[in-house]
Amino acid sequence: MNITSSLWHGAGRRIHLQEVGTRDGLQAECVFVPTEDKIALVNALSATGLSKIEVTSFTSPTAIPALRDAEVVLREIERRHGVVYSALVPNLRGAERAIEARADEFNLVMSASETHNLANLRMTREQSFAALAQVVQLARAQQVSVNISLSCAFGCPMEGDVSEPTVLAWAQRFVDLGVHGLTLCDTTGMAYPGQVALLTHAARQRWPGTELTLHFHNTRGMGLANVLAGIDAGADRFDASLGGIGGCPYAPGATGNVCTEEVVHALQLMDYDTGVDLERLIAASRRLPGLIGHDTPSQITKAGRRLDLHPVPADFETIRTRALARDTDTVPSP
């Protein structure tokens, strides 16, 4: 096996991590995180080396009250050179608000599943596409970059499998509109590695010039395995959420995204270059329970990094002395 270029040994290959905790994460929380705390959290995330941060969403404040302060948050964060500050935009109204607040990128969203699209966005897929095509036009006129996130690309919690041709056909329509990026979203953790490999490979082959992102939820414990399957199939951008929080409020059974610090931790051990300062990321994640009022799924904030060692037991010297004495007891006399 060629260890220098295998999946298990990244050999410094660049993998971009895109934080979605402040959008996908906070939208699912019952509490309203105070605006200044959101701003401080984004500022802390900006300092970790992440490639992109989905700061908030310009949805209806009645639909997603947790993010009703989108304008203030996006306007008042400290922007770092090299970080793309993205925002979810569901319609033209959202786009106008996002332009005012100076979003670097619109993350448009529609579902590859008709049922989920109706439940989430209250429109058929055709209606969504028509509305989003207008948003793309506006973005072009304003020179704002556009990413399309296709929800339920790996399965719908109400319909079941969404066929690969269906997913690719919807993506194609957006690529034809000239979008800069495409995200394939596993909204409720239905993806598995073999499926991820096939869909990623198909998307990379078909649209080599389009920025491809994979967005996994860890609902069934396959999140990290899916990230690795995606890397193996040629993906180099992943959404993840601090602490592993998140979930779509309109998808039954939805739970958190893959956890940013867990993905970074694993990829660093495997010699991938994420550009992320893990210590800062963990410090930011440890602030979350105080903000959202409950523990997060993050394993790393609890267990620490692989080589964050623990002290030996207090009576270790006694144990050692006794153990060594046992050796001398049993050594046969010459």
Catalytic sites, residue numbers: 248
* Beta-strand runs (E) in the chain: 16-19, 52-57, 84-89, 105-111, 145-151, 181-186, 211-216, 237-240
Contacted by 330, from Zn ion, ligand COA, none: CB < 5 to 8 Å by type? none
Contacted by 238, from ligand COA, Zn ion, none: CB < 5 to 8 Å by type? none
Q: Are 70 and 57 in contact (CB under 8 A)?
A: yes
Q: Is 54 near Zn ion (CB under 5 A)?
A: no
Of residues 179 and 282, the one with the C-beta less far from ligand COA? 179
Contacted by 59, from Zn ion, ligand COA, none: CB < 5 to 8 Å by type? ligand COA
CB of 187: closest distance to ligand COA in angstroms?
Answer: 7
CB of 57: closest distance to ligand COA in angstroms?
Answer: 5
CB of 24: closest distance to Zn ion in angstroms?
Answer: 4
Q: Are 106 and 89 in contact (CB under 8 A)?
A: yes
For residue 181, the number of C-alpha atoms closer than 13 Å in the C-beta half-sphere is: 28
Contacted by 90, from Zn ion, ligand COA, none: CB < 5 to 8 Å by type? ligand COA
Of residues 24 and 105, the one with the C-beta less far from Zn ion? 24
CB of 257: closest distance to Zn ion in angstroms?
Answer: 6
Kindly tell me which residue out of 10, 15, 21, 24 binds Zn ion, with binding defined by CB under 5 A.
24
Q: Which residues pair with 282 in a beta bridge?
A: none
Contacted by 131, from ligand COA, Zn ion, none: CB < 5 to 8 Å by type? none
Q: How many residues does the chain have?
A: 334
DSSP string for residues in 111-134: ESSHHHHHHHHSS-HHHHHHHHHH
Amino acid code (one letter) for 319: I
Q: Are 19 and 260 in contact (CB under 8 A)?
A: yes
CB of 167: closest distance to ligand COA in angstroms?
Answer: 16
Size of the residue set binding Zn ion (CB under 5 A): 1
Of residues 64 and 300, the one with the C-beta less far from ligand COA? 64
Contacted by 93, from Zn ion, ligand COA, none: CB < 5 to 8 Å by type? ligand COA
What span, in angstroms and rounded, lies between the C-alpha atoms of 314 and 106?
Answer: 55
Q: What single-letter DSSP state applies at residue 160?
A: B
**Phi and psi based region of residue 271 (left: phi greater than 0; alpha: psi -120 to 50; beta: remaining):** left
CB of 171: closest distance to ligand COA in angstroms?
Answer: 17
Of residues 22 and 120, the one with the C-beta less far from ligand COA? 120
| 4 Cβ contact partners less than 8 Å away, ≥ 6 residues apart | 11
Q: Using CB under 6 A as the criterion, which residues of the chain lie in contact with ligand COA when the complex forms?
A: 27, 57-60, 62-64, 90-91, 93-94, 97, 109, 120-122, 151, 248-250
Of residues 119 and 264, the one with the C-beta less far from ligand COA? 119
Written as six digits, the tokens of 326 are 């046992």
What span, in angstroms and rounded, lies between the C-alpha atoms of 85 and 83?
Answer: 6
Return residues touching Zn ion (CB under 5 A).
24
